[in-house]
């Protein structure tokens, strides 16, 4: 790819970030820049989630600068995000990379020792510093991500330690992000060298088909646990379900077998079904076959087994006697998108998997995409230009459509008729709908979990396809949420911007639903004055005090996810005046 193409992609990334905020510079832009990267990395399972939160401070003990953080679902992995923007695809040298990573590392180390105690509670970064400090005792490792629109000249950075924890580094520059975006399946290939996991794995080749080969094997339990430790949720990209943690009956039973009857695990467990795009094997002198390398490994059935073994291993369980049966289907890359979804579906069909789990290409989303390409939004006041709200059913569609335009005028026209600020995706739809349904606690779970709930509990039970009216009302809900969020952002209340916006909109709908005219919001392409005037009071005097007052001085982020939080907010003494 040429340097000019990288520069154009870098500008698109920055333009995307600018479209998400009112101000093109400062802290808000920093958070928006991270948010653009976040959508790519979260969707691909590279990171569980990220809360954009910019913080910079010069101190005698070393400069600190970070752009956000995230904690894994089981609380054992801390992800710290830092960034560099404005490079426009220029090369970033090792000295700059070291500088940025050192500042992020200093921040983590200071959080470990209680940085939050030196901060004002109104500081936007206070919740981040507090959460890291509270989580430290349960952490197993730290990952620091550098996100940049530069081209990094460093291939990798050796691991280090922060306190007693191992710290690894992920470098995501414009070239690597572009590879992720340009890939038809988007996720980078997971490559497993068996030498890194104890050596070649004996297997039995089975008779296959022109489109695939099949290998049967028995996997050591520790191998699966270490595999998940290394690659995490990326192994489960084509699995229909996320790890349900140890609370579900299946996962509790797995843990019980590991502890009490490890020798019977092979007999009790159905095993895993996996796919790969290529495999390297070796044949021993006795004719036996062993797997040496697997490319693009994906566990399409058995994600619960894999993640549960990892969970138990992380909690000190001995997996030395655990063995897991496995079928590995090696699919020709040209057949990947055709065969793997069917393998995943049929491999999971013996379990109670709901049809909502297979929604990626559901009629609902396909029809919503068609509507978004056909319906013109009214021109806002003072303008005669009508635009469209672009529904991105598959992440990266917008940039693909833009790249297809041959001339600069065609590209300019496309962006004028489809503003980046009016592009939205699947997780955005779930957020807008669930907020309007007065379920802000579910929205606060995070983009992916909210989408799963909405898909399972709303979309799967609706037999009707969306129509033009549905689309216009959906856009109105997007305007209601987005404009409310921007008003709250300008109030500079500190952290918890996302939950605050969700709870404000939900309570507004709860108390004033009969006055919220979605058709009027669509026609205006903005908020009516009475809503815009109500948001500041509602946010500062009602919602925020109730959110930050978590019971027992608990964690605010976790409190916002509970239905009890919404029940307390809903009971607040507030009504619209005027």
Element (H, E) at 167: strand 165-172
What integer pLDDT is reported at residue 350 of this predicted model? 45
pLDDT of residue 247: 43
For the four alpha carbons of 37, 42, 47 and 51, in that order, the dihedral sign comes to positive
Which helix (H) or strand (E) element contains residue 142?
A: strand 141-148
Beta bridge partners of 169: 144
Provide the mean pLDDT of the chain.
Answer: 85
pLDDT at 26: 55
- 258 alpha carbon, distance to own chain's centre: 31
Of 363, 361, 305, 311, residue with least CA distance to 338: 361
CA distances from 476 to 377, 481, 483 (A): 11, 9, 10
Query: Under DSSP, is residue 418 helix (H, G, I), strand (E, B) or coil?
Result: coil
3-state secondary structure of 311: helix
What stretch of H or E contains 342? helix 336-348
pLDDT for position 340:
55
Q: Which two tokens stand for residue 69?
A: 């953080």
Identify the segments of the chain with pLDDT beneath 70. 1-2, 22-27, 182-188, 207-208, 233-234, 236-251, 333-361, 404, 461, 578
Integer Cα distance of 107 and 80 in angstroms: 9
Q: Which of 447, 449, 453, 454 is nearest to 433 (CA)?
A: 454
User: What residue segments make up the domains of the chain, in order of their start?
Assistant: 3-182, 191-353, 366-570
Cβ proximity of 101 and 169 under 8 Å:
yes
Q: Report how far residue 394's alpha carbon sits from residue 373's, in angstroms, rounded to the nearest whole number.
A: 14
Task: Kindly report the three-state secondary structure assignment for every residue of 45-104.
Answer: CCCCCCEEEEEEECCCCCCEEEEEEEECCCCCEEEEEEEECCCCCCEECHHHHHHHHHHH
Nearest to 20 by CA among 412, 415, 432, 422: 422
Closest Cα to residue 330, out of 210, 185, 202?
A: 210
Task: Report helix, strand or coil for 555.
Answer: coil
| Residue 234, token pair as written in the block | 């990326």
Among 187, 85, 176, 170, smallest CA distance to 395 is for 187
| Token pair for 136 | 């430290």
| Predicted local distance difference test score (pLDDT) of residue 353 | 38
**Burial code of 413-424, b = ≥16 C-beta within 10 A, e = fewer?**
eebeebebebbb
pTM of the predicted model over 0.85 = no
Q: Residue 233 has what pLDDT?
A: 64
């Amino acid at each position: 790819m040429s340097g000019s193409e990288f520069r154009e992609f870098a500008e698109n990334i920055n333009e995307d970030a600018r479209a998400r905020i009112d101000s093109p510079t400062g802290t808000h832009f920093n958070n928006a820049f991270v948010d653009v990267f976040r959508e790519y990395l979260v969707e691909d399972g590279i990171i569980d989630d990220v809360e954009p939160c910019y913080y910079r401070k010069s101190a005698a003990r070393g400069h600190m600068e970070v752009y956000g953080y995230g904690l894994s679902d089981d609380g054992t992995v801390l992800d710290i995000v830092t960034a560099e923007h404005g490079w426009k695809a220029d090369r970033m040298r090792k000295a700059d990379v070291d500088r940025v990573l050192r500042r992020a590392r200093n921040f983590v180390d200071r959080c470990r020792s209680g940085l939050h105690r030196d901060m004002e509670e109104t500081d936007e970064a206070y919740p981040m510093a507090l959460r890291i400090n509270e989580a430290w005792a349960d952490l197993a490792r730290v990952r620091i991500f550098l996100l940049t629109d530069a081209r990094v000249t460093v291939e990798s950075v050796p691991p280090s330690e922060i306190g007693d924890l191992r710290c690894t580094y992920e470098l995501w520059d414009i070239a690597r992000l572009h590879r992720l975006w340009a890939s038809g399946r988007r996720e980078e290939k997971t490559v497993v060298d068996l030498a890194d996991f104890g050596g070649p794995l004996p297997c039995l080749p089975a008779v296959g088909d022109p489109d695939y080969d099949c290998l049967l094997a028995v996997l050591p339990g520790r191998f699966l646990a270490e595999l998940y430790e290394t690659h995490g949720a990326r192994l489960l990209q084509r699995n229909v379900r996320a790890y349900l943690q140890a609370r579900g009956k299946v996962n509790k039973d797995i843990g019980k077998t590991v502890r009490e009857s490890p020798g019977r695990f092979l007999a009790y467990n159905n095993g895993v079904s996996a796919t790969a795009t290529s495999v390297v094997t070796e044949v021993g002198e006795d004719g036996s076959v062993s797997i040496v390398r697997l490319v693009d490994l994906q566990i399409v059935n058995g994600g619960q087994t894999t993640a549960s073994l990892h969970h138990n291993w992380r909690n000190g369980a001995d997996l030395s006697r655990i063995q897991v049966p496995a079928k590995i289907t090696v699919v020709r890359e040209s057949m990947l998108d055709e065969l793997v979804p069917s393998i995943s579906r049929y491999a999971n069909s013996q379990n109670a998997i709901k049809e909502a789990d297979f929604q990626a290409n559901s009629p609902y989303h396909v029809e919503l995409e068609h509507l978004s390409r056909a319906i013109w939004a009214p021109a806002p006041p003072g303008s005669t230009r009508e635009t469209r709200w672009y529904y991105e059913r598959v992440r990266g569609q917008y940039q693909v459509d833009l790249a297809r335009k041959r001339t600069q005028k065609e590209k300019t026209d496309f962006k004028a008729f489809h503003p980046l600020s009016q592009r939205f995706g699947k997780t955005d739809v779930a957020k807008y709908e669930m907020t309007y349904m007065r379920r802000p606690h579910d929205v606060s779970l995070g983009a992916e979990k909210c989408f799963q709930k909405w898909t399972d509990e709303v979309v799967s039970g609706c037999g009707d396809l969306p129509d033009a009216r549905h689309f216009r009302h959906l856009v109105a809900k997007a305007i209601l949420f987005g404009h409310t969020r921007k008003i709250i952002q300008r109030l500079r209340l500190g952290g918890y911007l996302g939950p605050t916006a969700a709870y404000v909109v939900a309570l507004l709908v709860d108390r004033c639903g009969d006055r919220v005219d979605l058709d009027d919001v669509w026609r205006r392409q903005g908020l009516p004055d009475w809503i815009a005037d109500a948001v500041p009071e509602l946010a500062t005097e009602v919602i925020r005090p109730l959110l930050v007052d978590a019971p027992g001085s608990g964690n605010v982020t976790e409190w916002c996810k509970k239905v009890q939080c919404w029940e307390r907010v809903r009971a607040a003494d507030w009504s619209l005046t005027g």
